Amino acid sequence: MEEQINIGNPSYQQLYFIKLLDEYEINIFQLEDIEKRINHSFKDIQEVIKKLVQNGLLKRIEKGKYCRHNFNDEWVIGNYLVNDGVVAYWSALNRHGLTEQFPNTVFVQTTKRKDEKTVFGVNYKFIHVAKRKLTGFKMFGFGNNQYRMTDIEKTIVDCFDLPEYSGGYAELIRAFNTATLNAGQMVEYCKAVDNIAVTKRIAFLAEFLNKPDFDVFFQYANLLVNGKYNLLDPLGLDEGEYVNEWKIRLNISKEEISEICNKNY
């Protein structure tokens, strides 16, 4: 059923504001910069927007952030909820077509600290990271509906770094096996994440799964291998075969890895 809008009796300024949003094709905006974006100043912009929200022509996302009444792009909204927000982890895996599992949460990587939030029925989880880790993203979408999201290589590295946000380790292994990856980019992102265990896990899996053109990554990983054994699945049990070359303990066996990668859905 189409949403009913109570237009009421909007003032000329309200109508003119909506007209300007149409002309500039703006669907989502912040109060602090909207007058600059539409190249027009209003006597009381806060009152204009307040009335438009009351009349159902705009929706309030959170304090100072608004969108058109029919705008529901969860990826763009995720970027707006934090100024440096980037769609990442399981959400990016899905958007890149590397998993058919659909998360019921939009994962947003950011240098800001922000509590989990629900907007228009969609749950957003904000993953706070060091500034050096906020890299490897591109713009997706078109026009005013663009949003930042990690590229395929950064998405994979991020998920190995924080696998609890990847949709499950088996799903991450399957995604890694499926993805076409640039080994040089993988090196750069592993340097940014700065997690030796992540580099060792990726190196082992790349070698075992015969990922093509990964020599530059193996060379980099060999320089980092230390005497400490790390679990292949950091969230799993401390058990399994030891792989001396990469100092990895296989709490997911080679047979299980092969089964995961050969399983069809």
Burial 217-256 (b: 16+ CB within 10 A, else e): beebbeebbeeeebbbbbeeeeebeebeebbbbbbbeeee
pLDDT at 265: 43
| Under 8 Å between Cβ of 139 and 148 | yes
Say what angle helices 169-178 and 254-262 make with each other, to 10 degrees.
Answer: 70
Q: Domain coordinates of the chain in residue numbers?
A: 12-68, 75-262
Helix (H, G, I), strand (E, B) or coil at 209: coil
pLDDT at 101: 84
- The full DSSP string for 91-146 is HHHHHTTS-S---SEEEEEESS----EEETTEEEEEEE--GGGS-SEEEESSGGG-
| Under 8 Å between Cβ of 172 and 160 | yes
Domain 12-68: give its CATH architecture. Orthogonal Bundle (1.10)
**What is d(CA 251, CA 260) in angstroms, rounded to the nearest whole number?**
14
Using the structure block, give the residue that is written with the tokens 């906020």.
134
Sequential pLDDT tens for the chain (265 residues): 344 444 444 588 999 999 999 999 999 999 999 999 999 999 899 999 999 999 999 999 999 999 999 999 999 999 999 999 999 999 999 999 999 888 899 999 999 999 999 999 999 999 999 999 999 999 999 888 899 999 999 999 999 999 999 999 999 999 999 999 999 999 999 999 999 999 999 999 999 999 999 999 999 999 999 999 999 999 999 999 999 999 999 999 999 999 999 965 4
